[in-house]
């Protein structure tokens, strides 16, 4: 991925330790932005353990909408005016990646180029750079999905036709393909940038693109409305790490694309939203089989009942 060198910007606001911890990794609210920033948090006052700082790195000068979204992430800043500065001749992407620690989830190890060569023995390493798409592996929702996939493999599950809906960086599709290398695999996203990023990440991680078994087919699509997605249905595995609202709205088409007995993995929702999301899919003939909780972020595993 090409890195911005001179037209980058940094927005800085104070925050609390709790707010900094909540921003550790991917932040769903940033998906609303055309050019989402990379976030970094750090201690601001060594003698005050609750005084932290949020730095948001943008490829373009942040507009009013972007500033408002960042402000909502740190309500403790109140009406304090953010400091916005242009970064001259700085490789902001590499700098920001230095703060992203690798994620070890089951048999998967997700890292940026800063931590290349650090994968523990016996893990499948994926190089996913921080950048323009949601899904670097840092957020608890992505980690929960990786752990759920790993647990399914340990139980002996076998899948033949898989869909990663709202793929972001392609990571979850890559992980599923590693576990079930002979399956047909599809990844889609409403954002064409995400599909471009997925294609680049596939090349970096040895994932073959194409429509054949063992290759990843890509589609820019809102929800299930794409000829490729409809043609490949029904799926025996669908992964949707999106947000609670869209998951509820798309319950009928997602459930309709899942074969009887098929597995659905849902993430991107808060613990307070889990029951509403699960109920939306129960009404479509699915049952909640399992869940993994990572902080306030649950990952739900549902199974479609037979005869529905």
For residue 73, the domain's CATH number is 3.30.70.260
Distance CA 83, CA 92 (A): 17
User: Using one digit for the tens of pLDDT, what is the confidence trace for 225-266?
Assistant: 899 999 999 999 999 998 888 899 999 999 999 999 999 999
Reported confidence tier of residue 97, pLDDT bands at 50, 70, 90: very low
Q: Which domain holds residue 68?
A: 8-97
166 belongs to an annotated ligand binding site? yes
Say if 128 falls within a structural domain. Answer: no
Structure tokens at 265: 């993995």
User: Using one digit for the tens of pLDDT, what is the confidence trace for 103-129?
Assistant: 899 999 998 887 777 888 999 999 987
**Sequence-ordered alpha helix ranges (H) in the chain:** 17-22, 64-73, 92-97, 140-154, 171-179, 192-204, 227-232, 244-249, 251-256, 274-282
Out of 97, 125, 147, pick the residue that ends a domain.
Answer: 97
- In sequence order, what are the beta bridge partners of 189? 220
Say if 106 falls within a structural domain. Answer: no
Based on the domain organization, do 251 and 165 belong to the same domain? yes
Distance CA 221, CA 184 (A): 18
Distance CA 71, CA 67 (A): 6
Based on the domain organization, do 149 and 245 belong to the same domain? yes
| 303 alpha-carbon distance from chain centroid | 22
Say if 56 falls within a structural domain. Answer: yes
Based on the domain organization, do 28 and 89 belong to the same domain? yes
pLDDT at 133: 42
24 belongs to an annotated ligand binding site? no
Distance CA 178, CA 204 (A): 14
Contact 3, 113 (CB under 8 A): no
Token pair 């479609």: residue: 304
142 belongs to an annotated ligand binding site? yes
Based on the domain organization, do 160 and 14 belong to the same domain? no
């Amino acid at each position: 991925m090409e890195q911005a060198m001179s037209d980058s910007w940094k927005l800085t606001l104070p925050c609390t330790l709790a707010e900094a911890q909540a921003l550790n990794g991917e932040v769903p609210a940033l998906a609303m932005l055309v050019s989402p920033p990379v976030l970094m948090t750090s201690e601001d006052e060594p003698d005050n353990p609750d005084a932290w700082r949020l730095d948001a790195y943008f490829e373009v000068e942040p507009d009013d909408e972007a500033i408002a979204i960042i402000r909502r992430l740190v309500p403790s800043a109140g009406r304090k005016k953010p400091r916005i500065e242009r970064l001259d001749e700085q490789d902001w992407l590499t700098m920001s990646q230095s703060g992203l620690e690798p994620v070890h989830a089951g048999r998967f190890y997700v890292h940026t180029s800063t931590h290349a060569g650090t994968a523990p023995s016996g893990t499948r390493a994926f190089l996913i750079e921080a950048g323009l798409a949601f899904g670097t592996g840092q957020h608890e929702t992505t980690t929960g999905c990786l752990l759920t996939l790993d647990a399914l493999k340990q139980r002996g599950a076998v899948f033949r036709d898989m869909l990663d809906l709202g793929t972001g960086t392609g990571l979850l599709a890559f992980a599923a393909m590693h576990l079930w290398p002979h399956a047909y695999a599809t990844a889609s996203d409403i954002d064409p940038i995400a599909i471009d990023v997925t294609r680049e990440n596939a090349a970096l991680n040895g994932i073959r693109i194409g429509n054949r078994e063992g290759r990843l087919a890509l589609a820019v699509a809102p929800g299930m409305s794409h000829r490729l997605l409809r043609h490949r249905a029904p799926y025996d595995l669908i992964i949707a790490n999106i947000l609670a609202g869209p998951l509820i709205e798309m319950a009928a088409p997602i459930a309709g694309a899942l074969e009887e007995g098929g597995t659905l993995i849902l993430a991107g929702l808060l613990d307070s939203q889990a029951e509403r999301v699960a109920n939306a899919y129960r009404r479509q003939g699915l049952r909640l089989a399992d869940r993994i909780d990572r902080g306030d972020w649950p990952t739900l595993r549902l199974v479609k009942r037979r005869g529905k």
